[in-house]
Amino acid sequence: MKLLVVRHALAGDRKAWRSKGKDDSARPLTGDGRRKMREVARGLAELVAAPGVLATSPLVRAKQTAALLAGAFHLEAAEEVEALAPGEPPQALLEWLRARGRNDLVAVVGHEPHLGMLVSWLLSGRPAAFVELKKGGACLLDLGGRPAPGRAALLWLLSPAQLRHLGR
């Protein structure tokens, strides 16, 4: 199984959103974030085949990012997965991944520092983040036959600018 890990695109300013008394989980992508993510999604579609499963964090900005990815890959809506919410332990997503069976490619959309911790743990087996994804950035991991901490191989890690270049 391969795992495509994508950080959500540019969202509105967190402090400004909170100053209006709004829940951070409802903070949407900006217009610029949507535009750039469409290019990123086209770049990802050049690099990998359509995933068998596309999952997203329940937060609005991640769901909007996943919808743009679904469009580029000609997929139906993404599956909302609580294990991709900020603060959830990496083990929760690992259990979800194992339940996906033998999908060739699974794509997930989430947040930092959660995704960096997840990727680092899958690569090294250690609970310390050494990978950071920029907003709209992505990486591809080879998880082998049965996903486990410390057994993944990093195939690539690309910035949003690199992905947008591929999508042009």
pLDDT tens, residue by residue, 115-158: 999 999 999 999 889 999 999 999 999 999 889 999 999 999 99
- Full domain range(s) for residue 141: 2-167
pTM assigned to the model: 0.95
- What's the number of domains the chain is made of? 1
Which amino acid is located at 86 in the chain?
A: P
What does DSSP say about strands 138-142 and 2-7: parallel, antiparallel, or unpaired?
A: antiparallel
The contacts of residue 27 (CB under 8 Å, 6+ apart) are: 11, 12, 14, 17, 59, 60, 61
For residue range 71-108, list pLDDT tens digits in order. Answer: 999 998 899 999 999 999 999 999 999 988 777 899 99
Instruction: Provide the CATH number for the domain around residue 38.
Output: 3.40.50.1240
